[in-house]
């Protein structure tokens, strides 16, 4: 789908461009042809006026002037033959040079047309596959009239126009191909964010479906057991009902987290900001997390530089600390440690959560805040039922909502450190 859209974007202006190139080529070629024709006619008219003169009702032909003019540097078509024919008023040949009978028969019709009216004529004709321009003019004496035709071989002119047309076509084709390539490139640039969102959405749907499928399977299994024991007393089936309730609550937490993240993307995470004793809040939260850490045989340590008052959302900050501490304890080893440190840098609040647990590879660190991402693929929900892979993504939303940033340093089998900086949060 995205590829088809990219092709449409890349090609959407090509028909307009091709039409423009074609029209441009036609106009330029027509303009060039007009200039060449006009120059040729100007030159021909000068020849007729200078070489053909009337004295005492007799037509004089200055062959020397005609020859010099045809061979002059002003003649753009000096390679064409010196050809002319003169008819009298009865259209009988009065003088002719370098024109055979076949050509005379082909061009006589133009002389006849001029003899019937006062207008001069310029015509083109192809004789024996050779293009000619026929310039026909009427020359009047006191009692006599002559019709002069200058025949120009315009092969050179046609060749120039043909070469120019080919060059224009090649340049136009190259321009179109270049525009297609640029269109494809910029279409990719324009679709980059859309592609990323599309792929994230597909991955999100796939991951969410997988996470929901697991508790549904467990619920279905417990329902099947209850049906098989439908005659047993309720007390003996309480453990199966407890399992169902536990999975329903887990699904509810998952859905709540997903809705919260979706809303955060649309309108941002809503905060209830107030001045709080941040150091006391984080210390109390860590104390409440210690039993959970001990149950995983992990030691939790807390350190604070001083009492810190800050402007923040109390519930969100508590949620943030729980996520990081829970994550650090979960992905740790027996006898491992988690350190929570809180201190100031100016009026910036720094919160560090460090552990000496399993750590991550560099390529895993790049994705650690993505939804449903788990660095330790071997940890399944049956072993860690509280984890869906959304915690760190939620934590990042909370940090960014408080105008903060988070940095991650991790080494496989050595541990991980999250350093969170809340800019200008402290009330001093």
- 15-36 in b/e form (b: 16+ CB < 10 A) is eebeeebeeebeeeeeebbeeb
Q: At residue 312, does pLDDT exceed 90?
A: yes
Task: Please report the pLDDT score of residue 179 as a whole number.
Answer: 78
Instruction: Scan for tokens 């999100």, then name that residue.
Output: 204
Q: At residue 309, does pLDDT exceed 90?
A: yes
Answer for the pair 173, 17: CB distance below 8 angstroms, yes or no. Answer: no
pLDDT digits (tens, 9 = 90+) for 179-190: 778 777 777 777
Provide the pLDDT confidence category of residue 376 given band limits of 50, 70 and 90.
low
Task: Please report the pLDDT score of residue 61 as a whole number.
Answer: 85
Answer for the pair 94, 86: CB distance below 8 angstroms, yes or no. Answer: yes
Answer for the pair 376, 320: CB distance below 8 angstroms, yes or no. Answer: no
Q: How far apart are CA 88 and CA 47, in angstroms?
A: 19
Q: How far apart are CA 48 and CA 65, in angstroms?
A: 10
Q: At residue 353, does pLDDT exceed 70?
A: yes
Question: How confident is the model over 268-286, as a mean pLDDT?
Answer: 90
328 forms beta bridges with none
23-30 contacts at long range (C-beta below 8 A, 24 or more positions apart): 24/168, 24/172, 25/165, 25/168, 25/169, 25/172, 28/164, 28/168, 29/161, 29/164, 29/165, 29/168
- Among 156, 2, 148, residue whose Cα is nearest residue 78: 156
Bigger pLDDT: 381 vs 305: 305
Burial of 300 (C-beta count, 10 Å sphere; 0-12/13-18/19+): buried
CATH placement of domain 2-162: 3.30.450.20
Question: How confident is the model over 88-93, as a mean pLDDT?
Answer: 88
Task: Please report the pLDDT score of residue 375 as a whole number.
Answer: 61
Bigger pLDDT: 388 vs 99: 99
Task: Please report the pLDDT score of residue 77 as a whole number.
Answer: 47
- Among 328, 325, 335, 334, residue whose Cα is nearest residue 375: 328
Task: Please report the pLDDT score of residue 29 as a whole number.
Answer: 83
The architecture CATH gives domain 272-422: 2-Layer Sandwich (3.30)
Answer for the pair 30, 23: CB distance below 8 angstroms, yes or no. Answer: no
Bigger pLDDT: 33 vs 17: 33
- Among 165, 177, 180, residue whose Cα is nearest residue 24: 165
Q: At residue 355, does pLDDT exceed 90?
A: yes
* Per-chain mean pLDDT for the chain: 82
Q: How far apart are CA 92 and CA 54, in angstroms?
A: 18
Q: At residue 386, does pLDDT exceed 60?
A: no
DSSP 174: H
And the tokens for 362? Answer: 């560099």
Q: How far apart are CA 407 and CA 374, in angstroms?
A: 18
Task: Please report the pLDDT score of residue 265 as a whole number.
Answer: 67
Q: What percent of the chain has pLDDT over 90?
A: 24
pLDDT digits (tens, 9 = 90+) for 238-268: 888 888 887 788 778 777 777 777 766 666 6
For every residue of 14-43, DSSP letters joined together read HHHHHHHHHHHHHHHHHHHHHHHHHHHHHH
Could you give the residue range(s) of every CATH 3.30.565.10 domain in the chain? 272-422
Q: How far apart are CA 301 and CA 293, in angstroms?
A: 10
- Among 385, 375, 382, 299, residue whose Cα is nearest residue 331: 375
Q: At residue 79, does pLDDT exceed 70?
A: no
Task: Please report the pLDDT score of residue 381 as a whole number.
Answer: 36
Q: At residue 193, does pLDDT exceed 80?
A: no
- Among 368, 358, 361, 353, residue whose Cα is nearest residue 334: 358
Q: At residue 227, does pLDDT exceed 90?
A: no
Could you give the residue range(s) of every CATH 3.30.450.20 domain in the chain? 2-162
Provide the pLDDT confidence category of residue 406 given band limits of 50, 70 and 90.
very high
- Among 239, 243, 238, residue whose Cα is nearest residue 220: 243
Q: At residue 78, does pLDDT exceed 80?
A: no
Q: How far apart are CA 291 and CA 335, in angstroms?
A: 14
Ranges 4-8, 81-85, 110-114, 181-185: which has the least confidence: 4-8
Burial of 41 (C-beta count, 10 Å sphere; 0-12/13-18/19+): middle
pLDDT digits (tens, 9 = 90+) for 7-20: 666 666 677 777 87
DSSP 143: S
Q: How far apart are CA 124 and CA 112, in angstroms?
A: 16
């Amino acid at each position: 789908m995205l590829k088809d859209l990219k092709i449409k974007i890349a090609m959407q202006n090509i028909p307009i461009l091709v039409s423009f190139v074609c029209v441009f080529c036609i106009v330029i070629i027509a303009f060039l042809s007009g200039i060449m024709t006009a120059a040729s006619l100007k030159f021909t008219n000068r020849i007729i006026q200078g070489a053909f003169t009337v004295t005492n009702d007799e037509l004089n032909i200055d062959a020397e002037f005609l020859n010099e003019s045809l061979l002059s540097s002003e003649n753009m078509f000096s390679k064409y033959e010196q050809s002319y024919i003169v008819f009298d008023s009865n259209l009988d040949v009065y003088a002719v040079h370098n024109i055979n009978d076949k050509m005379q028969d082909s061009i006589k019709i133009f002389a006849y047309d001029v003899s019937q009216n006062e207008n001069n004529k310029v015509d083109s004709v192809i004789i024996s596959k050779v293009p000619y321009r026929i310039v026909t003019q009427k020359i009047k004496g006191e009692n006599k009239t002559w019709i002069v035709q200058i025949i120009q071989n315009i092969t050179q002119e046609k060749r120039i126009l043909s070469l120019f047309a080919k060059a224009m076509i090649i340049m136009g084709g190259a321009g179109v191909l270049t525009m297609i390539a640029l269109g494809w490139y910029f279409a990719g640039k324009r679709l980059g964010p859309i592609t990323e969102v599309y792929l994230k959405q597909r991955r999100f749907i796939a991951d969410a479906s997988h996470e929901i499928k697991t508790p549904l399977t467990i619920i279905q299994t417990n329902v099947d057991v209850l049906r098989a024991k439908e005659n047993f007393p309720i007390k003996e089936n309480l453990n199966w009902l407890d399992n169902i309730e536990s999975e329903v609550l887990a699904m509810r937490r998952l859905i709540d987290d997903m809705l919260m993240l979706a809303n955060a993307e649309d309108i941002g995470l809503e905060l209830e900001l107030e001045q709080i004793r941040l150091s006391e809040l984080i210390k109390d939260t860590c104390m409440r997390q210690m039993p959970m850490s001990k149950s995983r045989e992990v030691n939790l340590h807390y350190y604070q530089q001083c009492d810190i008052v800050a402007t923040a959302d109390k519930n969100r900050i508590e949620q943030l600390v729980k996520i990081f501490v829970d994550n650090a304890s979960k992905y740790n080893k027996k006898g491992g440690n988690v350190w929570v440190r809180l201190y100031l840098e100016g009026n910036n609040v720094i919160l560090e959560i460090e552990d000496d647990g399993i750590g991550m590879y560099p390529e895993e660190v790049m994705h650690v805040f993505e939804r449903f991402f788990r660095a330790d693929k071997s940890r399944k929900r049956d072993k860690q039922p509280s984890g869906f892979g959304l915690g760190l993504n939620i934590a990042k939303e909370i940090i960014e909502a408080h105008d903060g940033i988070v940095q991650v340093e991790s080494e496989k089998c050595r541990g991980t450190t999250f350093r969170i900086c809340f800019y200008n949060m402290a009330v001093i």
